[in-house]
Amino acid sequence: MTGSQAAVVFRFLRRRVWQVAPVVFGIAMLNFLILQLAPGDVVDVLAGEAGAATPEYMARLRVHFGLDKPVWVQLAYYLKNTLMLDLGFSFRQNMPVLTLIMERLPATLLLMTTAMGVAVAAGLALGVLSARFVHRAVDRVISVFVLITYALPTFWLGLMAIVLFSARLGWLPSSGMTDIGVKLDGFAYLRDVARHIVLPALTLATFYLAVYAKLVRAAMLEYFGADFIRTARAKGATETRITLFHALRNALLPLMTLLGLQLGSILSGAVLVESVFSWPGLGRLAFESILARDFNLLLGILLFSSVMVTLLNICVDAVYALLDPRIEL
């Protein structure tokens, strides 16, 4: 990377961070609002059911949130804590919230990226196929498949996949990220994780696969009528070449836009999929905190995952600029 390119990237990042700042601030305000509106005082809510937390912990929380002070001071406290990434302490897990989240983050990111990779690849393939053979048998079959996949509840699909692929057929493990009780390293470890990720990743990917297939089909059909495609045809490019190099490249752009818009929804999907497959990520952590009524942890996850969505969105924008040279960083 040359010096000027680095400068461009730096300027892009600086601008985007300034755009993101008010959103993050707003999300922190939203969290604070939820806490204020909740029944009981903030500490009652955060400490969960009565009797679960020790008086010392409650007192510590009250100081942490400045509860003896007026609301606007409390807000200032809350924003200051959030800004310094101090998300508080989880009483149930006996660990700082941020530590817990950071521990679980890699597993969620791995699941999300794998699922998205599968969804984009398969969605592109199906979309291209149905656009290439529009209104023919292949297109019909894919349309019906997309329609049904679109209606499947993710968590239910996961359960059914466990019944079929791990219980009946015994092909794949149904829970966790690695086999319990065996210590593997190097290549064997990777193989183990790969075996465990198949079912959760495919389950999470299914819905988005349908969405992308539908979108790519529509975009490709639109481009088939465009002037640059006619030019390509006129100069004698084959139909396959036109499909793959001319139409597809342009159809990637709306796909990226949608991907960026759906990051939050993908993370939401991960919560459900992880709780079905006991995948040790953020979603599983959220599920555990619901069961334990550990609301401080739950709010921390909400805040953290929102910030993560904004950061991932910046990455999507960067990829967008790579795909389309007309767009500058």
Partner 1 sequence: MYLALLKELLRNRSAAAGLILLAVVIFAAALGRVWFAGDPWEMSAMPMIWPGQDMENPLGTDVMGRDMATGLVSGARVSLLIGLSSTLIAALAGITAGALGGFYRGWIDAFLMRVTEIFQTVPQFVLAVVLVAIFKPSVATVTFAIGIVSWPPTARLVRSEFLLLREQEFVLAAHTLGMGDFRLIVTQILPNALPPVIVMAALNIATAIQTEAALSFLGLGDPNVMSWGTIIGNGREQVVDAWYICGLPGIAIVIIVLAFNLLGEGLNDALNPHLKER
Q: Which residues, other chains included, contact 271 with Cβ-Cβ below 8 Å and sequence gap of 6+?
A: 282, 283, 286, 287
- 6 vs 106, which CB is nearer to partner 1? 106
* Among 203, 308, 319, CA closest to 258: 319
- 216 touches partner 1 (CB under 8 A): no
Smallest separation (angstroms) from partner 1 to the CB of 158: 10
- 162 vs 209, which CB is nearer to partner 1? 162
- 170 touches partner 1 (CB under 8 A): no
Q: What tokens appear for 304 in the block?
A: 């953290």
- 1 touches partner 1 (CB under 8 A): no
- 148 touches partner 1 (CB under 8 A): yes
Dihedral sign for Cα atoms in the order 233, 238, 244, 245: negative
Smallest separation (angstroms) from partner 1 to the CB of 145: 13
- 96 touches partner 1 (CB under 8 A): no
From the list 67, 75, 105, 152, which residue makes contact with partner 1 (rule: CB under 8 A)?
A: 152
Stretch that binds partner 1, among 58-66, 177-185, 190-198, 262-270 (CB under 8 A): 262-270
Residues 25-54 that bind partner 1 (CB under 8 A): 26-27, 30, 34-35, 37-39, 45
Dihedral sign for Cα atoms in the order 94, 29, 287, 285: negative
Residues 271-310 that bind partner 1 (CB under 8 A): 271-272, 275-276, 286-287, 290-291, 293, 295, 298-299, 301-302, 305-306, 309-310
Sketch the per residue contact string, 10 through 29, with partner 1: x for CB under 8 A, - otherwise.
Answer: ------------xx--xx--
- CB-count burial class (<10 Å; 0-12, 13-18, 19+) for 277: buried
Smallest separation (angstroms) from partner 1 to the CB of 29: 8
- 39 vs 325, which CB is nearer to partner 1? 39
Residue at 171: amino acid letter: W
Smallest separation (angstroms) from partner 1 to the CB of 238: 26
From the list 74, 108, 130, 154, which residue makes contact with partner 1 (rule: CB under 8 A)?
A: 154
- 133 touches partner 1 (CB under 8 A): no
From the list 155, 165, 189, 224, which residue makes contact with partner 1 (rule: CB under 8 A)?
A: 155
From the list 17, 160, 190, 319, which residue makes contact with partner 1 (rule: CB under 8 A)?
A: 160
Smallest separation (angstroms) from partner 1 to the CB of 190: 28
Q: Are 15 and 321 in contact (CB under 8 A)?
A: no
- 130 touches partner 1 (CB under 8 A): no
Count Cβ neighbours within 10 Å for each residue of 35-58 and write b for 16 or more, e otherwise: beeeeebbbbbbbbeeeebeeebe
List interacting residues with partner 1 (CB under 8 A).
Answer: 22-23, 26-27, 30, 34-35, 37-39, 45, 147-148, 150-156, 159-160, 162-163, 167, 218, 221-222, 261, 264-265, 267-269, 271-272, 275-276, 286-287, 290-291, 293, 295, 298-299, 301-302, 305-306, 309-310, 313
